């Protein structure tokens, strides 16, 4: 109801009311040309046909709007869903239309004072057929207009997403190959050289492997979950060496990682985000868990021990991941920020969803 009284809602209602008037008077004029005249504009017969035309056309139009929104959200609009929308639309309209004209032309004809140029049975068939044809025309015209508008919006969204993705790729790469990360790694390595040379050698190997992964995939916005987990294993190793018992990172992945894809470095970014915004020590360790949710998503969960900072978090990393996901899927990146824990849920992408989106973009 609130939507109707908005500027956009009133404009839509006025436009549709004008269409109803045009259809009504066009039909009335054609009937008069055939010699089947209804006297005056304000007779009971004229008023009935005007009100019934308004009611049936508005019902059909609004139902079509509702079905388009529903199917777009759940299934997307294609030929198959479009055909279903037309069928459902008519299954709703036909009985209402039949009941309206049956009541008016049979039991309440005399009560309402409706004058018919034809016998009731013939007039019912004429009125019902005309209403069905006009209803179908409204449905197809509305769907055609929706397709044109949706296509324009989709093209604009894709252009915006392309720009965002390029910026996100650059930001992601810049964040990972940062002097700060390299400085901390080299600082840890320097200490290990004096304490444990074998561990230092392993640390160098993992560090080199991490940077090799970053450089090899800098042009790829998506990687298989398997590759990302292999990279994350090296990253976790370095974090454990650096922070020792102050952090624990557990993987509980129960899906086939080679079958799914995620944005490159997204897991590493979320783990590093938890390290950045929480305090942790041997006495108060930070516990991070990465677990799969059926075949749909991954949950990155950590206990919440926020740092005392005057600056509020900008959530640049999470915004970056959300923009990259928006390029490939309608599934949302969810964030749960509670008193005792913080959790980010990211969708798992399969090959079919990626191919469909890339085909649509090309």
Tens of pLDDT along the chain (362 residues) come to: 445 557 777 888 888 888 888 888 877 776 655 545 455 566 788 888 888 888 998 999 899 999 988 888 777 777 888 899 999 999 999 999 999 999 988 888 888 888 877 888 998 998 899 889 988 998 998 888 888 777 767 677 666 666 665 555 555 555 555 566 777 788 888 888 888 888 889 989 988 888 888 788 777 778 899 999 999 999 899 989 988 899 999 999 999 999 999 988 889 889 988 998 899 999 999 999 999 998 899 999 999 998 876 555 556 678 888 888 887 888 899 999 888 899 999 999 987 666 545 444 44
- The first and second tokens of residue 33, run together, are 């040309």
Do residues 314 and 226 make contact, with C-beta atoms less than 8 angstroms apart? no
Please tell me the predicted confidence (pLDDT) of residue 190. Answer: 86
Q: Residue 155: exposed, middle, or buried by beta-carbon count in 10 A (0-12, 13-18, 19+)?
A: exposed
Distance in angstroms (rounded) separating the CA atoms of residues 276 and 323: 21
Q: 325: phi > 0 → left, psi -120 to 50 → alpha, else beta; which?
A: alpha
* Distance set, CA 91 to CA 62, 87, 102, 229 (Å): 14, 6, 17, 51
Here the tokens at position 96 are 């209402």
297-303 vs 247-252, strand pairing mode: unpaired
The third-level CATH classification (topology) of the domain covering 177-361 is Heat Shock Protein 90 (3.30.565)
pLDDT of amino acid 1: 47
For the chain, which residues make up each domain, given as ranges? 3-152, 177-361
68, 69, 70, 74 alpha-carbon torsion, rounded to 10°: 100
The per-residue pLDDT for 361 is 43
Q: Are strands 247-252 and 286-293 parallel, antiparallel or unpaired?
A: parallel
Tokens of 232: 């994350």
- 3 state SS of 344: strand
pTM of the model: 0.54
């Amino acid at each position: 109801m609130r939507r109707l009284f908005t500027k956009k809602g009133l404009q839509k209602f006025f436009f549709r009311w004008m269409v109803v008037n045009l259809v009504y008077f066009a039909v009335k004029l054609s009937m008069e040309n055939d010699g089947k005249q209804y006297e005056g504009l304000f007779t009971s017969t004229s008023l009935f046909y005007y009100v019934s035309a308004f009611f049936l056309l508005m019902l059909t139009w609004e139902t079509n709007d509702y079905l388009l929104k529903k199917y777009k959200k759940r299934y997307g609009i294609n030929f198959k869903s479009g055909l279903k929308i037309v069928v459902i639309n008519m299954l709703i309209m036909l009985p209402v239309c039949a009941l309206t004209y049956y009541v008016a032309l049979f039991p309440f004809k005399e009560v309402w004072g409706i004058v018919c140029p034809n016998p009731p049975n013939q007039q019912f068939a004429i009125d019902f057929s005309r209403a069905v044809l006009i209803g179908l025309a409204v449905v197809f015209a509305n769907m055609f207009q929706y397709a044109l508008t949706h296509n324009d919006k989709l093209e604009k969204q894709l252009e915006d997403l392309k720009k965002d993705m390029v910026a996100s790729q650059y930001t992601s790469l810049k964040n990972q190959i940062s002097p700060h990360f390299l400085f901390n790694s080299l600082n840890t390595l320097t200490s290990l050289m004096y304490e444990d040379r074998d561990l230092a050698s392993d640390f160098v190997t993992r560090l080199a492997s991490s940077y090799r992964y970053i450089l090899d995939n800098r042009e790829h916005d998506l990687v298989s979950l398997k590759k990302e987990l292999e990279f994350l294993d090296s990253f976790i190793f370095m974090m454990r060496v650096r922070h020792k018992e102050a952090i624990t990172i557990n993987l509980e992945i129960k899906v086939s990682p080679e079958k799914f894809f995620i944005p490159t470095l997204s897991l590493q970014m979320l783990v590093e985000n938890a390290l950045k915004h929480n305090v942790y020590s041997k006495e108060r360790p930070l516990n991070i868990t990465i677990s799969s949710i059926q075949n749909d998503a991954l949950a990155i969960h950590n206990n919440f021990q926020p740092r005392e900072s005057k600056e509020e978090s900008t959530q640049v990393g999470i915004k970056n991941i959300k923009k990259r996901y928006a390029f490939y899927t309608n599934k949302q990146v969810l964030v749960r920020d509670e008193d005792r824990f913080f959790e980010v849920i990211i969708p798992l992408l399969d090959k079919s969803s990626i191919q469909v989106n890339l085909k649509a973009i090309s």
